[in-house]
Structure 1
């Protein structure tokens, strides 16, 4: 499966994020850094996430997207939009409770020539662990099924290692 990559663009404060391939933990720092960059922009107006070429997406990446939607709401912006023409990805989004915090459409974007690929930003083991923990806590807040599904993982991540 094609490893994941993230393409982005913005036009006068309206941002586009396109996730391509198999979107996994390796992109968590890249995704989170870009979210922070978007919200720190004075002209932020909204964001659309294009999942048309997403082959798979893990729970950490989903949690970071949910974080984006929650931050937008807290700051008084409209719900972000997700474009998801793949029924399997859309089903996953629905099961995670994304319809509560995103507008989800099956449309595809035909003109994405202004997108540029972001380099993958690696992080330390601690940074990645903290992002995984944060992402799963956000997912747990979306619905009861997520709370049950991710409870053990969150507990394990919150428990310090005996060797530390």
Structure 2
């Protein structure tokens, strides 16, 4: 059994976790603490989980990955990206339904300079409506002029 490790990096609000080897329960306390640190960061903007060197991932780790996705959607409204090039790992993620809570890609990142924009998010009409409503409520809270300008729109969104 090979020992697993999780590497971590952050640059300009993008957090990268790289799982290497057999990632198991023994690494989960450190992973959970890192997840909390990421979401407490004031400049948090995205997450990439690189699984290109992972040999196996246990269910506890998968549960923490799902937690990470839920928190990401709550904090910034975006799904994290998972990079996997191993068919067994990809099959595991799909069997857990992770394609619904992560953007799963199969192209490894070769260097930080080669990063591209994250894939766009396919969101339901209800989710989009909630985001629009939230954004306009925030605008309304900024000043009285905005409150007047957006009152009718917010009222209409709240009724529907």
Q: TM-score range by the shorter chain?
A: 0.5 to 0.7
- The answer as to 2:42 corresponding to 1:42 is yes
- Structure showing the higher helix proportion among its residues: 2
Question: Is contact 1:73-1:79 (8 Å) kept?
Answer: yes
Moved beyond 4 Å, runs of 4+: none
TM-score norm. by structure 2 comes to: 0.68
Residue of structure 2 equivalent to 1:134: none
Instruction: Please state how far the C-alpha of 1:101 moved relative to its aligned partner.
Output: 0.5
> What's the CA shift string for 1:103-160, capped at 9, x where partnerless?
0011112227xxxxxxxxxxxxxxxxxxxxxxxxxxxxxxxxxxxxxxxxxxxxxxxx
CA contact (8 A) 1:45 1:77 kept: no
Residues in 2 aligned to 1:3 and 1:107: alpha-carbon distance in whole angstroms: 25
Structure 2: which 5+ runs fail to align?
113-160
- Structure 1 spans left out of the alignment, 5+ residues: 113-164
1:2-151 → structure 2 map (5 Å cutoff): 2-111=2-111
CA distance in 2, matches of 1:92, 1:14: 25
TM-score normalised by structure 1 residue count = 0.66
Quote the RMSD (CA, aligned, Å): 1.0
**Which of structures 1 and 2 has the bigger CA Rg?**
2
Structure 1 residue 76 displacement after superposition: 3.0
Aligned length: 112
